[in-house]
Amino acid sequence: MNVTELSALSKKKTKFIIGLMSGTSVDGVDTVLVKIDNSGIKTKIKQLGFLTYPFPKQIREMILQNAETKGGNVTDICRLNFIIARVYAAAIKSLCRKIDFPLNKVDLIGSHGQTIHHLPKKEFVHGYHSSSTLQIGDPSVIAKLTGVVTVGDFRVGDVALGGQGAPLVPYFDYIIFHSSKKNPALLNIGGISNITVLDKKGKVDDVIAFDTGPGNMLIDYLTKNFLIKIMIKMEKSL
């Protein structure tokens, strides 16, 4: 797509966009197609289709292993960067087939990527004071495999500008849930939970949002390490 086509895309009042998200549990890729009209607080969103595309077991295990502090392998991470993008592309095509929506009518794909390491606290390393984060599943690979403009690196962009890289949903919460009568508070229980608090008298710059602590990440860990062991003991006692 050239600059002229990108400019035309940005001016469209109605866009068909696919969003991709795979969290720390690595259960699968949440894939959604939405119709978006207008922009800002006038934005209207309609969901046209959704599916969770499961990660193949061996790929899931490979991701989890390379997300460990002492388990990362640069060769595997390089491979996963492309493999995950191919899983994402497969998820997109599967959704389009499911709801009979032509892929060439999709205007844009938004991909968060798979986080394998996140260091939001600034460190002084070899003369540079910087925080860092790493999401793999390269947007360029998704774009090439689908033929659709793909945007990503949302967390990277926030960290580069001095943010913590999370939460990433406050602006969405503002444009969709703002109210002149109530002060909504929205809790997102992801791998790490976060909350957005909206002031009924405030504007977008008055939004308060922050991480609240472990969410599904801790639940998954406890389930894996305790519940499964209890079930095994129960089976042996039968």
- Last residue of one domain, picked from the residues 114, 143, 162: 162
- Last residue of one domain, picked from the residues 144, 162, 180: 162
pLDDT of residue 47: 97
- Last residue of one domain, picked from the residues 162, 181, 199: 162
pLDDT of residue 131: 93
Higher pLDDT, 160 or 235: 160
pLDDT of residue 202: 86
Tens digits of residue pLDDT in 6-30: 888 888 889 999 999 988 778 899 9
Please, which pLDDT band fits residue 1 given cuts at 50, 70 and 90?
low
pTM of the predicted protein model: 0.85
Q: Which of 79, 194, 214 is nearest to 141 (CA)?
A: 79
Question: In this structure, are 72 and 184 located in the same domain?
Answer: no
Tens digits of residue pLDDT in 153-175: 999 999 998 888 888 888 899 99
Total domains in the fold of the chain: 2
Domain-embedded: residue 238: no
The two structure tokens encoding residue 51: 């599916």
Question: In this structure, are 148 and 94 located in the same domain?
Answer: yes
